[in-house]
Amino acid sequence: MLHEQLEFRELLLSIVRRDLLIRYKQTIMGFGWAIFMPVLNTIIFSVIFTRVTRLDTGGIPYPIFAFAGLLPWNFFATSLRFSVASLTSNSALVTKVYFPRELFPLSAVLVSLIDFAVAFLVLAAMMVYYRIGITWTVLFLPIVLLVQVAFTIGVGLILSMANLFYRDIKYLFEVVITVWMFATSVVYPVHLVGGRLAKVLMLNPMTPIIDGYRSVLLRGTLPDPGPFAAAAALSLIVLAIGWVVFHRMEFRFAEEI
């Protein structure tokens, strides 16, 4: 069992290394692409929400408010985008060689995590520029990240498997992820939304997670305990369900792909 775990880790690292190499091979910008997208989005939304209309972001300068949201959101969306296609684009391996298939969606998440870490340097630079000091609450950052990773892996496992059986999923995914972003407090504080819609938006586990980053990094407070605990619990449930279902279905992959 332990032996299998060790092999699993080696293999996961190999796949991650491959996916990283492929992602930036024959590109001039390389890791620059990991920074480019959130920066571009931040500029666009900053223009809209500071020049066109003003948003109350609770005292945080809008550009860093937006970037601190777009960065983890980008990590989430990219992870899932690569997860969705991870099994189908490796069909030669899925049908020809046996090894743990969850490696593919896992690698999709890990590679995106590396992009996330690179782009995080930009956030650090912005914090220096806006003179936002680091407080002890930054110790809570790994927990926020862990919750996000758990949720992302859970959803990624389910999506990769669903797309293997029904190729509609990857198209459907693009629609859902766009809507989902605006249903999450990525570029605006979600509490500005009122009425019945606010209650629906409360169910979205990504809002407490994204807001958690802002709390521990920019506001120097802990994440809102109630919603964050609920999001953490939901993440673990999704991960557990994803894992179990994935392993239940694994034997049908080679036949159905």
5 binds other proteins (CB under 8 A): no
Burial string for 96-134 (b: 16+ CB within 10 Å, else e) reads eeeeebbbbbbbbbbbbbbbbeebbebbeebbeeeebee
User: What is the token pair recorded at 254?
Assistant: 């080679």
Q: Is 175 in the site for other proteins (CB under 8 A)?
A: no
| By the rule CB under 8 A, 248 interacts with other proteins | no
> What's the min distance (Å) between Cβ of 121 and other proteins?
27
Query: Which of 54, 96, 131, 196 is in the footprint of other proteins by CB under 8 A?
Result: 96
CA separation for the pair 157, 140 (Å, rounded): 26
How many residues appear in the chain?
Answer: 257
User: Closest separation between CB of residue 182 and other proteins, Å?
Assistant: 24
CB of 91 to other proteins, least distance (A): 10
Is 141 an interacting residue with respect to other proteins (CB under 8 A)? Answer: no
* Residue 174 is a binding residue for other proteins (CB under 8 A): no
In 3D space, the residue among 77, 242, 98 whose CA is nearest the CA of residue 176 turns out to be 77
Residues in Cβ contact with 222 at an 8 Å cutoff, skipping those fewer than 6 apart:
137, 140, 215, 216
Among 40, 166, 192, 198, binds other proteins (CB under 8 A): 166
CB 67 within 8 A of CB 144: no
When asked if residue 245 is in the footprint of other proteins (CB under 8 A), the reply is no
* Alpha helix positions (H), the chain: 2-24, 32-46, 62-86, 91-96, 103-129, 141-165, 169-182, 195-202, 206-214, 225-256
Per rule CB under 8 A, is residue 11 in the interface with other proteins?
yes
Each residue 52-91 as x (binds other proteins by CB under 8 A) or -, in order, gives: ----------------------------------------
To other proteins, the closest distance from the beta carbon of 107 in angstroms equals: 12
Tell whether residue 9 is a contact of other proteins (CB under 8 A): no
The contact set with other proteins (CB under 8 A) reads 7, 10-11, 13-15, 17-18, 21-22, 25-26, 92-99, 165-168, 251, 254-256
